[in-house]
Amino acid sequence: MQARNADPIAAIATAPGRGGVGIVRVSGKHIAAVIEALCGRPLKAREATYLPFRDAGGTAIDHGLALHFPAPHSYTGEDVLELQAHGGPVVLQLLLARCLEAGAEIGLRLAQPGEFTQRAFLNDKIDLAQAEAIADLIDASTEAAARSAARSLSGEFSQEIHALRDGLVHLRMLVEATLDFPEEEIDFLRKADAHGQLSKLQQNLQIVMQRTRQGALLREGIKVVIAGQPNAGKSSLLNALAGAELAIVTPIAGTTRDKVAQTIQIEGVPIHVIDTAGLRSSEDAIEAIGIERAWAEIETADAVLFLHDLTRAALPDYQAADTAIAAELLQKLPPRVPVIDVWNKLDSMPQAQPGVLALSAKTGAGLHALRHKLLEVAGWQASPEGVFIARARHVQALQRVDAHVALAVAHLAAQAQFLDLLAEELRLAQNALNEITGAFSADDLLGVIFSSFCIGK
Q: CATH code at 417?
A: 1.20.120.430
Same domain assignment for residues 196 and 266? no
Same domain assignment for residues 180 and 305? no
Q: What pLDDT does 158 receive?
A: 93
Count of structural domains within the chain: 3
In sequence order, the 6+-apart residues with CB closer than 8 A to the CB of 90 are: none
pTM of the model: 0.76
Annotated binding site for (6S)-5-formyl-5,6,7,8-tetrahydrofolate: 25, 82, 125, 457
Annotated binding site for GTP: 231-236, 250-256, 275-278
Annotated binding site for K(+): 231, 250, 252, 255
Amino acid symbol at 393: R
pLDDT digits (tens, 9 = 90+) for 329-381: 999 998 889 999 999 998 887 676 777 888 888 898 889 999 999 988 888 87
Same domain assignment for residues 176 and 323? no
Q: Is 342 helix (H, G, I), strand (E, B) or coil?
A: strand
| Residue pair 276/256 in contact by the 8 Å Cβ criterion | yes
Same domain assignment for residues 98 and 120? yes
Domain-embedded: residue 75: yes
CA 126 to chain centre: 18
DSSP letter for 349, please.
-
Q: What pLDDT does 177 receive?
A: 74
Same domain assignment for residues 230 and 361? yes
Same domain assignment for residues 226 and 213? no
Same domain assignment for residues 412 and 342? no
Domain-embedded: residue 364: yes
DSSP result, 11-40: EE-S-SS-EEEEEEEEESSSTHHHHHHHHS
State which of 355, 378, 401 marks the end of a domain: 378
DSSP letter for 311, please.
G
Domain-embedded: residue 199: yes
Q: Is 248 helix (H, G, I), strand (E, B) or coil?
A: coil
The CATH number of whichever domain residue 15 belongs to comes to 3.30.1360.120
Same domain assignment for residues 100 and 9? yes
| Residue pair 331/340 in contact by the 8 Å Cβ criterion | no
Residue 403 domain boundaries: 138-217+391-438
| Residue pair 274/226 in contact by the 8 Å Cβ criterion | yes
Domain-embedded: residue 456: no
Q: How far is CA 376 from CA 77, 220, 222, in A?
A: 44, 16, 12
DSSP letter for 46, please.
T
Annotated binding site for Mg(2+): 235, 256
pLDDT digits (tens, 9 = 90+) for 182-215: 655 455 667 778 888 899 999 999 989 988 888 8
**Nearest alpha carbon to residue 421 among 429, 412, 430, 431:** 412
| Residue pair 345/228 in contact by the 8 Å Cβ criterion | no
Same domain assignment for residues 303 and 231? yes
Annotated binding site: 25, 82, 125, 231-236, 250-256, 275-278, 457
Same domain assignment for residues 168 and 298? no
Phi-psi category of residue 255: left, alpha or beta, with phi > 0 → left and psi -120 to 50 → alpha: alpha
Residues of the chain where predicted confidence (pLDDT) is lower than 70: 1-4, 181-189, 244-258, 350, 352, 382-386, 415-417, 440-449
Amino acid symbol at 111: A
Phi, psi of 125 (to 5 degrees): -80, -30
Tell me the torsion sign for CA atoms 438, 443, 444, 447.
positive
The DSSP bridge partners found for residue 270 are 265
